[in-house]
Amino acid sequence: AQSVTQLGSHVSVSEGALVLLRCNYSSSVPPYLFWYVQYPNQGLQLLLKYTSAATLVKGINGFEAEFKKSETSFHLTKPSAHMSDAAEYFCAVSVGLWDTGRRALTFGSGTRLQVQP
């Protein structure tokens, strides 16, 4: 079974500083990996996804993530934090075989990002 571990339930950075949110996955088959963001009282919005094309994936709002198979990691970064980036971020993995009907996103526990002025 697949799993996702997000290190750090809370991360605080200063405005303009580098954002690094960590995600490690466990999967017995090549995974598809996603980062979602959730603003208060809202649903989840996709930031970016890895589907085995390029290992460096660029997403919306200046975020990017790099798939590193040797480290089983998919960390999310942004060079310069903005106040509007304050939210909760979820890493998720999706594996399964279409013909067996096994398909679901398994989420990490989330990382709340605070941006200090």
- Give the interface with other proteins as residue ranges (CB under 8 A): 32, 34, 36, 41-46, 49, 51-52, 90, 92, 94-96, 98, 101-110
Smallest separation, CB 92 to other proteins (Å): 8
Gyration radius of the chain over CA positions? 14
Smallest separation, CB 50 to other proteins (Å): 9
Smallest separation, CB 57 to other proteins (Å): 12
CB-nearer residue toward other proteins: 13 or 91:
91
Burial classification of residue 71, based on how many CB atoms lie within 10 Å of its CB (0-12 exposed, 13-18 middle, 19 or more buried): exposed
d(CA 80, CA 51): 26
